[in-house]
Structure 1
Amino acid sequence: MEKSGQVLTRDSVACLQMNLGYACNLSCSHCHVGAGPHRTEEMSQQVMEHCLRFVEQGAVNVVDLTGGAPEMNPHLRYLIKRLRMIGSLEKILLRSNLSILAEADYADLPSFLAENNVEIVASMPCYLKENVTAQRGPGVYEANITVLQELNRIGYGTTGPGLHLVYNPGGDFLPGPQPALEAAYKEHLGERFGITFTSLYTITNMPIGRFRSDLERHGQLQPYLDLLAASFNPDNLARVMCRNMVSVDWQGQVYDCDFNHVLRLRLDVADGYIGNVRADDLIGTAIASGEHCFACTAGAGSSCQGSLSA
Structure 2
Amino acid sequence: MKSLQARHAPLADTGYQLTVLTEAEAAGARLPAFAEKLRETGLLPLRPTRLQIMQINVGRMCNQVCKHCHVDAGPDRTEIMTRATMQLCLDALARTDIELVDLTGGAPEMNPDFRWLVEQISALGLRTIVRCNLTIIVANKKYHDLPEFFARHNVEVVSSLPHFSAGRTDAQRGDGVFEKSIRALKMLNAVGYGQQGTGLTLDLVYNPSGAFMPGAQQSLEREFKQRLGREHGIVFNSLLTITNLPVSRFLDYLLESGNYESYMQQLVAAYNPVAAANVMCRTTLSIGWDGQLYDCDFNQQLDLLVAGNAPKHIGDFDEARLQDRAIVVNQHCYGCTAGAGSSCGGATT
Q: Normalised by the shorter chain, which TM-score bucket?
A: over 0.9
Counterpart of 1:276 in structure 2 is 316
Report if aligned partners of 1:34, 1:210 keep a CA contact under 8 Å in 2: yes
Aligned with residue 122 of structure 2, among 50, 73, 84: 84
Q: What is the CA–CA distance in structure 2 between the aligned matches of 1:176 and 1:77, rounded to whole Å?
A: 35
TM-superposition CA deviations, 1:185-208 (whole Å, max 9, x none): 000000011100010000000101
Aligned with residue 213 of structure 1, among 252, 256, 273: 252
Matched, 1:48 2:86: yes
Q: What is the CA–CA distance in structure 2 between the aligned matches of 1:26 and 1:259, rounded to whole Å?
A: 19
Aligned with residue 292 of structure 2, among 249, 253, 271: 253
Q: Secondary structure at the match of 2:41?
A: coil
Report if aligned partners of 2:311, 2:321 keep a CA contact under 8 Å in 1: no
The residue identity in structure 2 corresponding to 1:241 is M
Matched, 1:286 2:326: yes
Percent identical across equivalent pairs?
46
Aligned with residue 95 of structure 1, among 109, 116, 131: 131
Counterpart of 1:139 in structure 2 is 176
Q: Secondary structure at the match of 2:346?
A: coil
Counterpart mapping for 1:94-243 below 5 A? 94-103=130-139, 104-158=141-195, 159-243=198-282
Report if aligned partners of 1:57, 1:278 keep a CA contact under 8 Å in 2: no
Counterpart of 2:338 in structure 1 is 298
Q: Displacement, 1:270?
A: 5.0
Aligned with residue 29 of structure 1, among 67, 79, 82: 67
Aligned residues: 307
Matched, 1:262 2:301: yes
Q: Secondary structure at the match of 1:183?
A: helix
Counterpart of 1:38 in structure 2 is 76
Counterpart of 1:15 in structure 2 is 53
Q: What is the CA–CA distance in structure 2 between the aligned matches of 1:302 and 1:106, rounded to whole Å?
A: 30
Q: Secondary structure at the match of 1:84?
A: helix
Q: Displacement, 1:138?
A: 0.9
Q: What is the CA–CA distance in structure 2 between the aligned matches of 1:83 and 1:121, rounded to whole Å?
A: 17
Q: What is the CA–CA distance in structure 2 between the aligned matches of 1:271 and 1:246, rounded to whole Å?
A: 12
In the alignment, structure 1 segments of 5+ residues that lack a partner are none
Q: What is the CA–CA distance in structure 2 between the aligned matches of 1:207 and 1:25, rounded to whole Å?
A: 23
Q: What is the CA–CA distance in structure 2 between the aligned matches of 1:157 and 1:284, rounded to whole Å?
A: 39
**TM-score, normalised via structure 2 length:** 0.86
Q: What is the CA–CA distance in structure 1 between the aligned matches of 2:147 and 2:80, rounded to whole Å?
A: 21
Change in Cα spacing, 1:242 to 1:271, as seen in structure 2 (3 Å) is: closer
Which structure 1 residue ranges, 4+ long, deviate > 4 Å from structure 2?
none
Report if aligned partners of 1:232, 1:299 keep a CA contact under 8 Å in 2: yes
Change in Cα spacing, 1:193 to 1:53, as seen in structure 2 (3 Å) is: same
Superposition RMSD in Å:
1.0
TM-superposition CA deviations, 1:207-264 (whole Å, max 9, x none): 0110111111111111111111111011112211111110000000000000000111
**288-297 vs 152-161, which deviates more?**
152-161
The residue identity in structure 1 corresponding to 2:142 is D
Q: Displacement, 1:283?
A: 1.2
